[in-house]
Amino acid sequence: MAGLKTNERPGTRAVLRHSRMSAYKAREVLDLIRGVDYVLASEILESADRGAAEVIGKLLNSAAANAQHNDQLDPDELYVSACFADEGTTLKRWRPRARGRATRIRKRTCHITVIVARLPDEEIAKRRARVATEQADRRQRRVAGTRRSRRQGADSAAEVAAADAATQAAALEEATEAAIDAAETAASSDEPSAEVGPADASGDEDEVVEVADVAEAAHVEEAAELDADDSQEQADEPAAEGSDGVEASVSQEAEDASESEVATDESDDNSTKESE
């Protein structure tokens, strides 16, 4: 049984006739996109480094446009069902050579045909499922990245807030210490403050009362000490007078003894002189 004829193949086609290249060069590029979907075939032709790739790429786009506008097909659901290159007319030219001879030049041409058709329903369903899965994965990764960035932003904001709170606490502590020092300095100084509020006035009155109490207690203690000293002195006076009399009598006896000794010595001297 004979196969399908060239003009009986199903699908939407685009034909380029009398292309100024050999069919061999066109077939090398057509073999790359045969049976491939339209999107991938376009990418292959864009990255190919053959000269025929540009021509065949334009022909492929023309076939997809025909399918979209004439048959109302989605270009994303198309694939290259058939593509081939037939021999065209050959232009014969002559080149002069040595000794009056001539060489034949053959300028080859070809007819390029690209046929696109809709993918099978099963393949389309698989593609749609794969695309939906890829989109879900991309969305999931995007959401995860967004949540991660938000969490990192929240963490950094919390760190900044904690640092600010620590700074404020340190500043408040310093201010409190400065206020305490100022209050102590004001309390220790004798100069009254120029302006005193209700709270400060009550605090100053309490401090004044405390100072007065301390002064009164010190005065009482001092008076008690003075009274104790006076009583001790009064108790010590008779003993002192008795001791002074004893000392005076002892000194008088000592003087009398010394005078008697002096008189004895003088009498001894006189007797000695008389005996001589």
Summarize pLDDT for 5-61 with one digit per residue, the tens. Answer: 666 778 899 999 999 999 999 999 999 999 999 999 999 999 999 999 999 999 999
C-alpha–C-alpha distance, residues 48 and 54, integer Å: 9
What is the model's pTM?
Answer: 0.51
Name 215's Cβ contacts closer than 8 Å, sequence gap at least 6: none
**What is the rounded average pLDDT of the residues 171-181?**
85
User: Per residue in 208-266, pLDDT tens?
Assistant: 556 566 667 776 777 777 777 766 666 655 544 555 554 555 566 666 666 666 566 66
Angle value at C-alpha 58, between 52 and 61, nearest 5 degrees: 135
- Ranking 141-155, 192-206, 246-260 by mean pLDDT, the lowest is 192-206
DSSP 8-class letter at 11: S
| Distance (Å) of CA 212 to CA 96, 136, 207, 219 | 138, 85, 9, 10
